């Protein structure tokens, strides 16, 4: 990110400005900051969900600010795996339906899977590695799962097809300390295998030891909130 400035439409009193922000391939970056501090906005900018009013965001050699909205959507589908804070699973879809969903939008990720496996087998492998038994949960609706199970399904969905970047928005906030560490260990294992870059945001400073790099949003960004 270079010289980025963003204001949410209809919310002119909020702005996020970033002079320079860079992440290297294969890094595991934990981005710390309080709730409401602009971390989710940063992730939305990185993923091309929103576009800054000025500045450049270059990812894998492409300045995504120069892409049209549909082109940014395609770029995100090809190169990003996203673990949302609330998981955003399709509630009435099965576990397998949810894990395979990204392959419906990305020819590249679908081709990556088919090089060594079938989509169903790769989904089962990821679920198994993340601590879920496909034989027990594969045909279950996502809405019937526990929070911890939904979290693992969301991670498998983000990882399938080997996207280069994984971004995670407070994915451990609903877990106790022991399950947080277990989940991160499993997640890091698959990310390392894929050679992917991880950017995770959290307000929980106790997670820092698990990451290769730790930054605070205020180290490189300025957020302004005007008076109401």
pLDDT digits 0-9 by tens, 30-88 = 999 877 778 888 999 999 999 999 999 999 999 999 999 999 999 999 999 999 888 89
Q: For 69-174, where are the alpha helices, taking DSSP H only?
A: 69-79, 95-100, 107-114, 119-129, 134-137, 147-159
Q: Are 56 and 4 in contact (CB under 8 A)?
A: yes
Q: How confident is the model at residue 228 (pLDDT cuts 50, 70, 90)?
A: very low
Distances (CA, A) of 95 to 146, 151, 154: 12, 11, 9
d(CA 179, CA 20): 34
Every domain of the chain and the residues it spans: 24-54+61-216
Q: What is the pLDDT of residue 62?
A: 97
DSSP assigned state of 80: E
- Lowest average pLDDT, out of 6-15, 109-118, 211-220, goes to 6-15
Average pLDDT of the segment spanning 199-225: 87
Give the global pTM.
Answer: 0.89
pLDDT at residue number 188: 86
What confidence tens digit (pLDDT) does each residue in 127-163 have?
A: 998 888 888 888 899 889 888 889 889 999 999 999 9
User: Is CATH 3.40.50.300 correct for 24-54+61-216?
Assistant: yes
């Amino acid at each position: 990110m270079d010289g980025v400035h963003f204001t949410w439409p209809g919310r002119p009193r909020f702005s996020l400005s970033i002079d320079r922000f860079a992440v290297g391939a294969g890094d595991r970056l934990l981005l710390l900051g309080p709730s409401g501090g602009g971390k989710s906005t940063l992730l939305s900018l990185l993923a091309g969900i929103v576009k800054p009013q000025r500045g450049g965001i270059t990812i894998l050699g492409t300045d995504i600010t120069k892409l049209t909205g549909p082109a940014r959507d395609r770029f995100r589908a090809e190169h990003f795996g996203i673990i949302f804070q609330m998981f955003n699973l399709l509630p009435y879809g099965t576990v397998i339906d949810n894990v395979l969903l990204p392959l419906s939008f990305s020819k590249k990720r679908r081709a990556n899977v088919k090089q060594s496996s079938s989509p169903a087998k790769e989904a089962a492998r990821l679920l198994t590695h993340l601590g879920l038994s496909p034989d027990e949960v594969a045909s279950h609706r996502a809405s019937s799962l526990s929070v911890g199970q939904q979290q693992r399904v969301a991670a498998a969905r983000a990882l399938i097809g080997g996207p280069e970047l994984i971004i995670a928005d407070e994915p451990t906030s609903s877990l106790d300390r022991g399950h947080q560490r277990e989940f991160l260990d499993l997640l890091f294992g698959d990310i390392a295998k894929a050679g992917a870059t991880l950017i995770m945001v959290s307000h929980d400073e106790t997670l820092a030891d698990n990451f290769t790099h730790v930054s605070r949003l205020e180290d490189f960004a300025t957020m302004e909130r005007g008076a109401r």
